[in-house]
């Protein structure tokens, strides 16, 4: 049987960054497994710019960002197994047995001392959000169409309606228009757009594509293929008022990402219902000793630079674990308080850098972000001019007082 | 004198600029860095964008992602796309390899953003 000190599941942004850091720390057998033919994950289909500003100080396209890490991984001689699926993880005493189906090598069993979960996300689809109407062809998620257009050279439709104004939907609105399609409208359920302002300008305004906030699709028409959608406005009282029917042949859904944790569940890893990713300590370790998680599989990120940073921190912890240096005490639980959607990690261990990452439940202006101990003593306070669910907030807690039994992160409005 | 509100797109911050101008820029407010001033000037008198798209290849990777080496006039975006439709890349490329020089007379080149060696 093959052995590994660290088996990393996923060779995307998180997996590659973790692998490089592990090698830099002198870890010997690092094996990265990915189901695609190439490493780089989602980055190669993201041909647009906006990546790397924090990490490299330059604005790069997705493929260029990926290449920076692929080159480092190559130089560090990271072993990769591509076109391979991890199908099972069995936890036996101290080691884990990972079962892989590989296109090149057939059935592969790896005995790994540690595992890093770096599988990223799946896209939320029509079934998840229950859009009424018929079930014709022509309903896709935005990321999938991005793959079809940018990697495979297909144009899956001519007249589009995009559901969701997150960045993926906005980017695709521009891409499709440049390639000759007509994007009729972008519909957003919230009263505010989901993506960056810069994308509203360069993806919608530049092409005169209308954005309708507080609007949803309430019916899909078409037997074999999408023919039109009924669009309704969400009124102040919460009722739906049908507003218009838009003829179209394709629907693009950009309605959220869901961390892909089927394998994690198989391995017995506990998930945090607020993130849909594993519950981890400040060492990025799950409830199973030796299984760690980082990147989008842990919680959905806005900027790939922060995924790389998180993966590097996770890899540092894994290096410490392998060397027997990780503190074994349980950490202090971290709770989500007023207006906080989630906080990662769920447990702060002693001697950790105290970095906490969170998102608010809704946009807020002039709120105060606070962290308090179990006796209500305020450990951190920051005035925030504005806080958005689409912008992850990161802060570090200064030394946590001795005897503190829990921490709650909350907003004061 | 005219007034315009605009969102700067130079970096993901998206500063909401207030611009006063007539035949030239009079003032720019709310920019958190210098680049916002240049952006305001360009956006009013000569709006430009960096274009990213793909070009067909006969290589293992069927479609090569490319970008313009500099921001090009916004109104020429469609022309650039059309001109790139007509070409096929058939030799190996590195990141930065020039696929086409001076696209549509803009002075900007089309450069590869992915390494494709076979």
What number of helices (H) and strands (E) belong to chain A? 8, 27
pLDDT, tens digit (0-9, with 9 covering 90-100), for A174-186: 999 999 999 999 9
Q: Cβ atoms within 10 A of the Cβ of A291, count?
A: 25
Q: What is the pLDDT of residue A262?
A: 96
pLDDT at A151: 97
Short-list A259, A267, A272, A261, CA closest to A112: A267
Strands of the sheet containing A211-213, edge to edge, are: A139-141, A250-253, A159-163, A182-188, A211-213
Average pLDDT, chain A: 96
pLDDT at A264 over 80: yes
Give the span between the Cα atoms of A188 and A335, in whole angstroms: 30
* Predicted pLDDT of residue B14: 84
CB distance B53–A50 less than 8 Å?
A: no
Separation of alpha carbons A169 and A252, rounded Å = 7
Tell me if chain B has a CB within 8 Å of the CB of A56.
no
pLDDT digits (tens, 9 = 90+) for A6-36: 999 999 999 999 999 999 999 999 999 999 9
Is there a contact between B53 and A178 if contact means CB atoms under 8 Å apart? yes
- DSSP letter (8 states) at residue B93: B
- In chain A, residues with a C-beta closer than 8 Å to the C-beta of B78 are 178
Q: Which helix (H) or strand (E) holds A397?
A: none
A155 touches chain B (CB under 8 A): no
What is residue A92's predicted lDDT score, i.e. its pLDDT? 84
B54:A200 CB<8 A: no
pLDDT band at A350 (very low <50, low <70, confident <90, very high): confident
Closest residue on chain A to B69 (Cα)? A60
Binary contact (B113, A196; C-beta < 8 A): no
Taking CB atoms and an 8 Å limit, are A47 and B52 in contact across chains? yes
Contact B66, B52 (CB under 8 A): yes
Q: How far apart are the first and last CA of chain A?
A: 57
Instruction: Identify the H or E element spanning A307.
Output: helix A304-322
Q: What is the DSSP string of A148-206?
A: IIIII-----SEEEEE--SHHHHHHHHHHHHTT-EEEEEEESSSS-SS-HHHIIIIIGG
Would you say A47 and A24 are in contact if contact means Cβ atoms under 8 Å apart?
no
Q: What is the DSSP letter of A41?
A: G
Residue pair A283/A317 in contact by the 8 Å Cβ criterion:
yes
Rounded average pLDDT over A146-165: 97
Place of tokens 């807690």: A397
Count Cα atoms within 13 angstroms, Cβ side, for A172.
Answer: 34
Q: How confident is the model at residue A94 (pLDDT cuts 50, 70, 90)?
A: confident
Candidates A208, A301, A386; CA nearest to B15 is: A386
Subunit contact A49:B12, Cβ cutoff 8 A? no
Mutate to test the interface with A, among B4, B5, B7, B8 (most CBs of A within 10 A): B7
Q: What is the pLDDT of residue A402?
A: 81
Beta-carbon separation of A49 and B52 below 8 A: yes
Write the residue in B9, B51, B53 that is nearest to A198 by C-beta.
B9
Tokens 């003032």: give the residue.
Answer: B27
Task: Summarize the confidence of residues A197-213 as an average pLDDT.
Answer: 95
CB of A303 within 8 Å of a chain B CB? The answer is yes
**A287 vs A116, A161, A276, A290, CA distance in Å?**
13, 42, 15, 9
Q: Which residue, A72, A75, A45, is CA-closest to A56?
A: A72
pLDDT value of residue A81: 97
Give the model's pLDDT for residue A400: 81
Cα separation, A350 vs A352, in Å, equals 5
Residues of chain B that touch chain A, judged by Cβ-Cβ distance less than 8 Å:
6-9, 11-12, 14, 16, 49-54, 56, 62-63, 65, 67, 74, 77-78, 81, 95, 113-115
- Whether ipTM > 0.85 holds is yes
In a mutagenesis test of the B interface, which of A40, A64, A68 is the best target, namely the one with the most B β-carbons within 10 Å?
Answer: A64
Measure CB to CB from residue B9 to each of A149, A150, A202 and give the nearest one.
A202
C-alpha distances out from residue A165 to A65, A156, A183, B89, B117, Å: 24, 20, 13, 34, 37
Average pLDDT over residues A192-201: 90
In this prediction, residue A37 carries a pLDDT of 94
CB contact under 8 Å between B50 and A44, yes or no, is: no
Flag whether residue A178 sits within 8 Å of chain B, measured between CB atoms: yes
Where helices occur in B25-115 by DSSP H, the ranges are 35-45, 77-85
Q: What is the percent of chain A with per-residue pLDDT over 90, rounded to a whole number?
A: 92
Chain B residue nearest residue A202, CA to CA:
B9
Distance between CA A161 and CA A182 in Å, rounded?
Answer: 9
CA angle, residues A333, A339, A340, in degrees to nearest 5? 40
Tell whether the model's pLDDT for residue A245 goes beyond 80.
yes
CB contact at 8 A, A97 and A78: no
Instruction: Using the CB atoms, write b or e for A125-148: b if 16+ within 10 Å.
Output: bbeeeebebeebebbbbbbebbbe
Residues ≥6 apart with Cβ < 8 Å to A374: A404, A405, A406, A407, A408
- Residue A48 burial by Cβ neighbours in a 10 Å radius (0-12, 13-18, 19+): buried
Which residue out of A47, A83, A207 would a mutagenesis test of the B interface target, given it has the greatest number of B Cβ atoms within 10 Å?
A47
CB contact under 8 A, B95 and A206: no
- Searching chain B, which residue's CA lies closest to the CA of residue A63? B114
Predicted local distance difference test score (pLDDT) of residue A87: 97
Span A43-50, mean pLDDT? 96
Residue of chain B whose alpha carbon sits nearest to that of A53: B11
For the record, the structure tokens of A341 come out as 């959607």
Question: Over pLDDT 70: what percentage of chain A?
Answer: 100
Report the pLDDT value the prediction gives residue A93, as an integer from 0 to 100: 77
B98 bridge partner residues: B111
Chain B positions in Cβ-Cβ contact with residue A179 (cut-off 8 Å): 53, 81
- By Cβ distance, the residue of A47, A197, A303 closest to B54 is A47
Q: Is B50 in contact with A49 (Cβ distance < 8 A)?
A: yes
Whether residue A44 and residue B114 make contact (CB cut-off 8 A), yes or no, is: yes
Average pLDDT estimate for A102-117: 97
What is the full per-residue pLDDT of chain B (118 aa) written as tens digits? Answer: 899 999 998 887 888 999 999 999 899 999 999 999 999 999 999 999 999 999 999 999 999 999 999 999 999 999 999 999 999 999 999 999 999 999 999 999 999 999 999 9
Which residue on chain B is closest to A302 by alpha carbon? B12
């Amino acid at each position: 049987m093959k052995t590994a000190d660290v088996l990393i599941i996923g060779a995307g942004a998180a997996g590659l960054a973790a692998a490089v850091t592990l090698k830099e720390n002198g870890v010997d057998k690092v094996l990265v497994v990915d189901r695609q033919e190439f490493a780089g994950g989602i980055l190669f289909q993201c041909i647009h710019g906006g990546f790397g500003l924090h990490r490299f100080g330059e604005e790069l396209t997705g493929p260029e960002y990926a290449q920076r890490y692929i080159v480092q991984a190559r130089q560090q001689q990271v072993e990769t197994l591509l076109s391979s699926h991890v199908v099972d993880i069995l936890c036996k005493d101290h080691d884990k047995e990972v079962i892989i189906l590989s296109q090149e090598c057939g059935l592969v069993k790896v005995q790994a001392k540690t595992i890093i979960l770096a599988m990223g996300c799946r896209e939320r689809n029509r079934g998840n959000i229950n859009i009424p109407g018929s079930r014709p062809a022509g309903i896709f998620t935005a990321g999938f169409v991005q793959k079809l257009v940018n990697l495979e050279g297909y144009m899956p439709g001519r007249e589009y309606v995009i559901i969701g104004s997150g960045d993926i939907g906005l980017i695709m609105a521009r891409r499709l228009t440049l390639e000759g399609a007509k994007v009729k409208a972008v519909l957003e359920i919230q009263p505010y757009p989901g993506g960056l302002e810069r994308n509203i300008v360069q993806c919608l305004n530049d092409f005169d594509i209308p954005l309708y906030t507080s609007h949803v699709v309430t019916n899909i028409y078409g037997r074999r293929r999408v023919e039109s959608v009924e669009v309704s406005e969400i009124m102040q009282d919460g009722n739906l008022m049908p507003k218009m029917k838009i003829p179209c042949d394709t629907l693009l859904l950009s309605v959220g990402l869901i961390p892909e944790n089927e394998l994690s569940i198989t391995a017995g890893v506990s998930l945090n219902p607020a993130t849909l990713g594993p519950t981890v300590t400040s060492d990025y370790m799950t409830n199973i000793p030796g299984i760690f998680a980082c990147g989008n599989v842990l919680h959905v990120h806005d900027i790939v630079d922060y995924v790389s940073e998180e993966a590097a921190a996770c890899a540092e912890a894994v290096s410490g674990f392998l060397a027997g240096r990780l503190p074994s005490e349980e950490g202090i639980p971290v709770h989500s308080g007023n207006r906080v959607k989630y906080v990662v990690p769920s447990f702060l261990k002693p001697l950790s850098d105290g970095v906490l990452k969170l998102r608010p439940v809704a946009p807020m202006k002039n709120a105060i972000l606070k962290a308090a101990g179990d006796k209500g003593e305020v450990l951190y306070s920051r005035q925030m001019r504005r806080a958005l669910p689409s912008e992850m907030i990161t802060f570090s807690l200064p030394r946590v007082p001795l005897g503190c039994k829990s921490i709650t992160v909350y907003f004061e409005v | 004198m005219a007034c315009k509100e605009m969102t700067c797109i130079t970096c993901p911050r998206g500063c909401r600029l207030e611009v006063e101008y007539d035949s030239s820029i009079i003032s720019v407010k709310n920019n958190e860095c210098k680049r916002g001033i240049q952006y305001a000037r360009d956006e009013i008198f000569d709006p430009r964008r960096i274009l990213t798209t793909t070009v067909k290849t006969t290589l293992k990777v069927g479609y090569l992602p490319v970008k313009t080496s500099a921001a090009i006039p916004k109104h020429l975006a469609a022309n650039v796309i059309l001109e790139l439709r007509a070409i096929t890349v058939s030799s190996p490329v590195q990141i930065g390899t020039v696929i086409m020089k001076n696209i549509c007379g803009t002075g900007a080149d089309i450069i590869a953003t992915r390494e494709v060696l076979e």
